[in-house]
Structure formats: C-alpha cells, structure tokens
Structure 1
C-alpha cells in the first residue's frame, strides 16, 4: 500500500519510520508513531514515511499511520512479521535515515541489512521492548532473535531513543554504549470532552489487556474496597491480548465483584469520553517505557495512579496523582485514599495534570526535538541537547 509515489522532495531529509504491525493491535505505537510521522512532516525540511505490515484483521488501519505509508502482507506466522516485499521497498525508497520503531521482528533484520548494504544511517526507538520485564516475556523467542540479528542491529545503530531516563538506563544496563536521545512521547492536546451524567463515579483502566498491565492488582484491590465505596465502579477498556480478558472476567466472577464493566476496544471520541468521565485512572503496570495512556488521561483532567515501573514521578511533583510501588497492599491503600477524596479535590488534581501535559508533552515540542535528532543522526545538523553519550 502506498499513498504517494516513492521518492519525493530530494532536498528534504527523507526519514523512514520502520515498524511492524500498522494496526491498533500495536498498542501505544498506534498512537505515538502516527502522531510523530504527521507532526514532523508538517515542519520544513523533512519528508516522513512509515513502513510496516498489514494486520489481516484490520488492513485499512494502516492508511492513517503517516502522510506516506507503505504496508505489506505478512507471510507465515504473524509473530515473526516476515514481509518479504519490505526489502525491495526500502531499497527503492532510499531513505536518508531509518528510525526503527520496536524490536524483535523482521523489520529489524531489514533495517540491519539495508544499512550494511548501503552504509546509510539508522537509529532505533525500542518502545519499551528492552525493559527487563518485556525481555523476560517470551524470552526464548527473543533470545533467538538476539543472536540472529537484534544484538548486531542495536550495536550498529548510530543512536537510540528513549522516552524517559528510566528507559535510557535499561539500555546502559544491557551494555549498549550508543548515544541516547531522551525525547518523550507527545500528544496533540485534545479538547475537553463533554462529561456524561452517571449515577456512579468511576475508576478507569484503559490499555492493552495484558498481564503486563497488572489489572489483577486493581481487581484485587477493588475486592477489598467495593463495599466501602458503593457509589464507585471499575471500568476496564482496551484490546484483549492472548485471552487475558477472559481470565479477568473469571476472576470477577470468582470474587463476585460488583460494578465492574468491560467495555472492549475504544478509539477516538469514545476513548476521550472514557477518560473524561473517569474520576480516577489506574495503571498498575509491571513495565512501561513511557505509558502514553497516562498523558492521555491527564489531558482530560483525570488524576492518575501508576507504579514506579513507569517513569511518572512527576505525578507527585505536579500534584496530579500517585506514583507507587507495584505492591498489592500499597495499591489498595492508595486507592482507598484516592476514593476518599472529595470530588473537587480530584478535579483540582486533574486540572494540574492537564496544565503539565500542555507544557511538557505537546506534539509540536516533541516533533521539533525529533527533527533535530533525525538531522543529527543523518549528519545534517549539530548534536541536540537531548542526546547523551
């Protein structure tokens, strides 16, 4: 799939964001990568391209990933993301710079081979996939990829991008010595959604429904608290992964938990409304390199509880949430504290959160920083302040 002919303004820096599945099933990448592609492309001197694979369950979703999108069918198991047409396509596109989004699948091998064949520069944005928890998940498959191509791919990259200092430290802990650009993800600050009337106040979880996200901790805490807070409910939204939603539904039934709603996959205005209607957002995660859903919740003035496995110490610093260890008792006690707050107190916290997001995580700021990083990696600019050796 190509929305515009390959080959455009040769004087501009031609950047390729190379990834795998171009679909909402990619999780946070489905927001951050298209946002980055579209926002940088609006700046002078850069032409942004996105290349990845088609999701057989949602092939049309690829169209929105960038101003120029190239999407290819996968052959064989989906897990490997083997798309043989990708090799020729990247050669024909001849980008000045490749920025690889994510790890462990065929696009990494395509990137490495292209760089060795042409000598052209590339950088890697691992998107949390070097987090210790993530590396332990399906560890044997990643070990094979590590030996086959990913170790060399990482070592030979001219730079790595981390979205927070915590992620940068993960790179160093693995022995990677590449320069690191620390640039957060950004969002286009949405208008505040119009809240709907509800008899219940709500605790919202919205992310991929995967055991990594720690939803069991939330439901276990709710088991201890629901009788004391009869005017609250728990809303669980997101894409089900590996049947984990069924496991959570079984837990709800086993514990006879009242006022728990599973609302499925949500996007666009429906997602913004869920954030806005919630009185509290909870992400009891085992690991996040960034956690874009935290920014999205704060942007709708919803205070947040998340764990120290995500880089959100600023929730405490800016008075818009709680940053706690992933511990069942601590989550339960923190939830009790939060649910006991007057509505006005939580609303004030949410307002502070939106102000923080507007100041620190705007898509325009991120686009400018990443354009400077891309120019530097491609040899067309000086080293930005965001880059550390």
Structure 2
C-alpha cells in the first residue's frame, strides 16, 4: 500500500493578521487531510502578538519565531524543519518573503517538486505596492522560485491571466478557494439597517470610496448605517476615521477586528456587503457574505462577475459615481428583494465553492504534481 502523500503548505504569519490566508490555508489543510491518501502539514512563522493562533492552521503545524524585520519573515528554524519533514510536495502560500527562499533552497538541494499559490501577490496593484522591495526580492530569489514551480495555482481565471501577463509559462491550476457553509443564525434587528465592509483595513480595499459615496447618499437613506470591521494595517483605520469626520458621517461605525461567531454575526445581520477593492485574487469575504445570505457589491478588480449572473449582487467598475449609483439602487430596493438575492447567493456558494469540492480538486492537483496521478482538467498549460 502506498504511503499517504505528505504535502507541506509553507507560509508566513500564522495568525489572523495574514488576512484571507488565515481562512483559506487552514481550510485547505483541514479539508484535505481526512482524505485517505493525503497527509497535510503546515509550516510558517509565528505572529509575535498572537503566537497561539498558529495551532488552528492545520492538523500538523510548526511555527517559528521571526528574526529581524517582520516584513522579511526570516525564521531560521524553518529550513531545518522542512528538511526534517521530508515532504513529497510543497505548496507555497504567498510570496516575496523568506518562506519562498527557504523552499527554493530545499528544492534545489533535494529535487522536491513544489507549487506556488501566490494568493493575489502577483496582481498588478500588489506588484506596484512596495515595488522596490519586490524588485529586490525578485532578483534575489522570487523570480527563480516562480519559474521553478511545477505549477502555479490561481483561484480564478483573472489571477491566472496576471501570471501570464508577467511572462510566467508554468502550468496553472485554477481552483477557487473553498468555504464550509455555516449554519444560519436568526438575524438581529437593529435600529438601523446596515451596509457592511469586512476585510483588512488597508488602502487596497478602497474603503475611502465607500465613505465618499455614503457622503452623497446618507441624507437619502436615514434608516441605514455603515459598519466597518477588520484588522487595521499600518494605521489606515485612523486615516479613515479622520475622513469620516471630515465628510460629517455620523452613521459610520468602526467595530475593530472580528473572528469566529462575531464575524459571522456581522455578515448575517448586514443587509448589504460592499467591497470596493482595487485588487483581489479571489475575495473570500465575498463568499463569506453570500454564505450568510447577504448580497454583495464589489468591483471588477475582484473575480466575481457571477454576482450578476446569479442574481445576488453587483459587479461594477471601480469608479466613484458608479459605486454611488449602485448603492442608491441597492438601498432603494425592498428588504424582501435584498433577502431573496442573499438566498440565491448562498445557494451559489453551496453549489460552486463548497470546501469538499475544493479539497477533491486540490487532491487531484497534488497527486498529479507528485507523479501519482493524471493531469486534472483544472490544470492548464
């Protein structure tokens, strides 16, 4: 009998500070590991402010302290751990930091095949952000690391095109992120109906666009408020609060980061979810909102064109007037219409983004990449 395939998910920031990776990577590890021919391991770096969070990232997790600047994620204990684990296959989650270098060195020394899942870090907006740092990292290790990958994983066709636009010729596995559908709690009726933003509070997410549109609309919709939730990155929340005061927006609440049941309650109690983003490789928060029967507005910088085809939201150009007009149209709809849109959204997530389906697809990709199975249909040359 063949031993289970030992797959290593190699990443950094084993904590909620990793954003969407803190949901997608643990979900992947926990969903694939029960399959009889799979054995999933996670190796990453510890968040000095929340080291205990690492243990929830998978059935077998090793986390290591970062030495030096946090931006580089240099963890000297990581390379020996990879060597001791002797994985059959490595899937690197995220790029531009030390885990990529450690994996490249391990692959060159042992010949271990590996995949790279960039997690949105190759989209045009991300490449321009801190471009000089990425240029240095690219020259030192990341260009070689990407080119040497047996395949790249994209979570949507839009992200796969970003790979090709960069000149990468590796095979690409297009597999979306998955979601375990939560049970639905009763909705809580508040004094005001709510528009929710929930994600990292970062300039990339375009929250300032939402606030400016709300400044034009708040007088028309006195029964609504905006709720802004998420982890503050680099003090951006203070900038948004200052903008809120400048625009005289009394019905905007900043509620901080939320996880677990508290996060689910925010989605569930919202009447509308808005992600006015500049760039997303997938946008897991969109799927999470739909899973709670909350309709969505997001931009065409996120790969969610199906919102309109499935009748559960709006997919719009990243333009101020377009967002304002779309919000006005959405808030003018009867509550029953928005509720029906939300129900259609949950049905779509259950049909196309269930974690069990994603686990099966990634199992096929891993078996193929390790030479134990045929090439899956989701892999494109």
TM-score of the two chains, using structure 1 as the length reference: 0.97
1:322 has 2:314 as partner: yes
Post-superposition CA distance 1:270-302 (Å, at most 9, x none): 101100100000000000000000000000000
Post-superposition CA distance 1:146-182 (Å, at most 9, x none): 0000000000000000000000000000000000000
Partner of 1:152: 144
1:130 has 2:122 as partner: yes
Partner of 1:302: 294
1:188 has 2:180 as partner: yes
**What CA distance in whole angstroms lies between the structure 1 residues aligned with 2:65 and 2:148?**
28
RMSD over aligned CA atoms reads: 0.8
Equivalent residues in 2 for 1:44-59, closer than 5 Å: 44-59=36-51
Post-superposition CA distance 1:215-240 (Å, at most 9, x none): 00000000000000000000000000
Q: Report the CA distance between 1:193 and its aligned residue.
A: 2.1
1:284 has 2:276 as partner: yes
Q: Report the CA distance between 1:26 and its aligned residue.
A: 0.2
**What CA distance in whole angstroms lies between the structure 2 residues aligned with 1:61 and 1:193?**
26
Unaligned runs of 5+ in 1: 1-8
Equivalent residues in 2 for 1:78-227, closer than 5 Å: 78-227=70-219
Give the number of equivalent residue pairs: 381
Partner of 2:10: 18
Q: Report the CA distance between 1:197 and its aligned residue.
A: 2.0
**What CA distance in whole angstroms lies between the structure 2 residues aligned with 1:217 and 1:91?**
47
Equivalent residues of 1:236, 1:264 under 8 A apart: yes
**What CA distance in whole angstroms lies between the structure 2 residues aligned with 1:63 and 1:351?**
34
Unaligned runs of 5+ in 2: none
Partner of 2:34: 42
Equivalent residues of 1:194, 1:273 under 8 A apart: no
**What CA distance in whole angstroms lies between the structure 2 residues aligned with 1:355 and 1:126?**
28
Partner of 1:236: 228
Q: Report the CA distance between 1:338 and its aligned residue.
A: 0.2
**What CA distance in whole angstroms lies between the structure 2 residues aligned with 1:341 and 1:258?**
23
Partner of 2:252: 260
**What CA distance in whole angstroms lies between the structure 1 residues aligned with 2:10 and 2:22?**
13
**What CA distance in whole angstroms lies between the structure 1 residues aligned with 2:194 and 2:57?**
32
**What CA distance in whole angstroms lies between the structure 2 residues aligned with 1:10 and 1:55?**
37
Equivalent residues of 1:41, 1:48 under 8 A apart: yes
Equivalent residues of 1:14, 1:97 under 8 A apart: yes
Q: Report the CA distance between 1:199 and its aligned residue.
A: 1.2
Give 3-state SS (helix, strand or coil) of 1:227's partner: coil
Partner of 1:275: 267
TM-score of the two chains, using structure 2 as the length reference: 0.99
Give 3-state SS (helix, strand or coil) of 1:111's partner: helix
Partner of 2:64: 72
**What CA distance in whole angstroms lies between the structure 1 residues aligned with 2:192 and 2:68?**
47
Partner of 1:367: 359
- Ranges of 4+ aligned residues in structure 1 off by more than 2 Å: none
Q: Report the CA distance between 1:10 and its aligned residue.
A: 7.7
Partner of 1:4: none
Give 3-state SS (helix, strand or coil) of 2:219's partner: helix
Q: Report the CA distance between 1:42 and its aligned residue.
A: 1.1
Q: Report the CA distance between 1:382 and its aligned residue.
A: 0.3
